[in-house]
Amino acid sequence: MNERRVVITGMGCITPLGNDLSTTWDGLITGRSGISRITQLNPDPFDCKIAGEVKNFEPDGYFRVPKDARRSDRYVQFAVAASKMAMQDSGVDVSTLNPRRFGVMVGSGIGGLATLEREHGVCVEKGPKRVSPFTIPMMISNIASGIISMEFGLMGPNMAIVTACATSNHNIGEAWRIIKFGDADAFICGGSEASILPMGLSGFANMKALSSRNDQPEKASRPFDKNRDGFVMGEGAAVIVIEELEHAKKRGAKIYAELIGYGISADAYHLSAPSPDGSGPAYAIQMALHHGKKNPEDVDYLNAHATSTGLGDIAETKAIQLAFGHHANHGLLVSSTKSMTGHMLGAAGGVELIASIMAIKDGIVPPTINVEDQDPACNLDCVPNFAREVPVKIAISNSFGFGGHNASVMVSQFK
């Protein structure tokens, strides 16, 4: 049963670079930054006044019933939109399939923070009777998965794993595992986030996690650069459709790539800081290689978690060198697309896996922009500033979350 193969047949995303896959991918390979001064709220009171905002997004057209969009938190709106795009891209006709064999796993690291902030204000200012009855279902982190299942009539396994910034990779990896085990044939899976809000900005800034390069938004997210000073918040969603191979072939689906490995581990070290020796992420990478039956030197490209924080980028460099040995500095390309999107938190792994899949499809590795003086402690080939045209057969996407959660997902060219 574990020999069941799993392939990617559809992709959809909403990001600071664009509200669809093609615009986002074009932004990534041309090295365009999606970071700018915040417009959704007045950023003046905050230390960090910049973010990777989703722009010109209209949710109504993505819901079967437009009023459902208005009863959904922004993170859910992103998730539904990305799912609709992924399903359309996959060409799947749900009416011809067994709905109990089609699942949904779309998570969020923080959930409906906008709803929580707004309704808390209502409660304080106008009293508890004025709080919306939709408050709880709008803010909980599992509701995106629930609503997506309702939109498509999908009755298979339905969950939402929450592991902060590793959320997308865990949802994708566990969906892969469920298909491998035989309990489903297809999944919509990924992550979504919308927390560019007073509480989100204050919370991250006060723990000194955010960049304060407010006068140069496009240069603020600079993974692996010696002068990085923190991450930049992003928002959006990224979702893929994965299917058991024979299920996809039976309906004549196009296949982007094969999902061949998934590794998970914990640092068991600190609330927010990574383990300095990189051993936790290294173990996750090694597990993904083991599941995929690949050697370190088989991997061509690694999309790094690399958020542009002082400790994190160095710890991940150590993890990569532990896991890949000699290959880490002799042939492996490693880039951080967060340099362009900012850190999309629970959605980060999804968009970064999509970037890895597109690197395989198009033979182009997206760059790490803003590398002006590479940190000697991050001595990897980080594809600085310009995309690189090179054949990519196997790629890994890393995602790590507060609490020490690590997840690595490996994809390969489909054969």
Q: For the residues 244-259, what does the mean pLDDT come to?
A: 97
DSSP state of 366: P
Q: Which of 170, 247, 291, 343 is catalytic?
A: 343
Residue 378: active-site member? no
At 380 the pLDDT is 98
What's the CATH code, domain 262-410? 3.40.47.10
Give strand ranges (E) for 130-256: 158-159, 186-193, 236-244
Whether residue 247 lies in the annotated active site: no
On the question of pLDDT at 1 being above 60, the answer is no
Do domains 7-250 and 262-410 share one topology? The answer is: yes
Catalytic status, residue 327: no
Q: Nearest CA to 37 among 204, 203, 216?
A: 216
Tokens coding 42: 């007045």
Bridge partners of 357, per DSSP, are none
pLDDT tens-place string over residues 164-217: 999 999 999 999 999 999 999 999 999 999 999 999 999 999 999 999 999 999
Q: 131 pLDDT exceeds 60?
A: yes
Q: Where are the domains of the chain?
A: 7-250, 262-410
- Which is the CATH superfamily of the domain at 7-250? Thiolase/Chalcone synthase (3.40.47.10)
One-letter amino acid of 67: K
pLDDT tens, 49-90?
999 999 999 999 999 999 999 999 999 999 999 999 999 999
Percent of the chain with pLDDT over 70: 100
> What is the pLDDT, as a whole number, of residue 371?
98
Model pLDDT, residue 3:
86
Q: What does pTM read for this prediction?
A: 0.97
Q: In 3-state terms, what secondary structure has residue 242?
A: strand
Return the pLDDT at 159: 97
Question: Taking 80 as the threshold, does the pLDDT of residue 292 lie above it?
Answer: yes
The per-residue pLDDT for 343 is: 98
Catalytic residue among 13, 48, 165, 382: 165
pLDDT the model gives residue 177: 98
Q: Which helix (H) or strand (E) holds 192?
A: strand 186-193
